[in-house]
Amino acid sequence: MIDLAGQVVIVTGAAQGLGLATALGFAQHRAKVALVDNNEATLNEAVKQICDRGAECIPVLADITAAGAAAGIVRQTVAAFGRLDVLVNNAGISSIQPLLEVTESEWDKVFAVNVKALFFLLQAAASVMKDSGGGSIINVSSPAARMTREEYVAYSTSKSAVDYITRTAAAALGRYGIRVNAVSPGRMDTAMQRTNEAASAAAAGIDLPAYVHSRTVDIPLRRRTTPEEVAQAIIWLATGPASYVTANRLNISGGLELD
């Protein structure tokens, strides 16, 4: 039995998909959760789901790319709950543009969310955790970081940066009892995944159902994962059984990454 009573968790991109599944999972194990998102309507719906289950949570409406946003999110969470134990850097955006067509604005947009915001949230959270005995930070990476799909060059490069930040932060913060790990989820039927596959299929002139099928049967386990399945791995990384796990990149990809 996992019991996270008294633990305080920040989850970014918490209003849908993997972020929502993660927030619900932590709440199920009695953690207090700060849900961070920039969509007020879906954020309020997510908070209602958690509150209706009797868990403690707060909405944090924020553009995580804005100057000072990271420190503000951490301050608001600590003000509400008195501490911070876990940060899940889940928020991310994708991009599908061929290498020779990637624009500066697209590159900057992807890196602002996937790298800059993630790093400064990690920094702000770790600054609090190091003074309170430690904590756990889990960053969401992607198998794309190790694949050569040229239409994903901006996204894949940003996730490679996430992997580097994870390793470096784990080395730097271990002395404070702060563990830093990453998860690399496989193909999930989320809104972002559906949008990406529709765009890729259209660009390639391929029938969408056939394209989705081909991207399912090429997974060694021959199935897709779910946000709930990946969320359980994220939660495990924040618990006692994972207390000696840091600098790890946990592949939850059904075998897309065979290392």
Q: How far apart, in whole angstroms, are the C-alpha atoms of residue 17 and residue 130?
A: 30
> Per the residue annotation, which of 155, 164, 176, 211 is the catalytic one?
155
Q: How far apart, in whole angstroms, are the C-alpha atoms of residue 228 and residue 245?
A: 21
Q: Residue 198's closest CA among 110, 91, 113, 96?
A: 96
Q: Residue 132's closest CA among 86, 68, 181?
A: 86
Assign 12 to helix, strand or coil. Answer: strand
Whether 123 contacts 70, CB under 8 Å: yes
155 is catalytic: yes
Q: Which residues lie closer than 8 Å to 44 by C-beta, 6 or more apart?
A: 59
Q: Where are the alpha helices (DSSP H) in the chain?
A: 17-28, 40-51, 69-81, 104-111, 118-129, 153-173, 191-204, 208-217, 227-237
Residue with tokens 């400064």: 120
Whether 46 contacts 21, CB under 8 Å: no
For the chain, percent helix, then strand, then coil, each to nearest 5? 50, 15, 30
Among left, alpha and beta (phi > 0; psi -120 to 50; other), residue 241 is alpha
Question: Annotated active-site positions, please?
Answer: 155
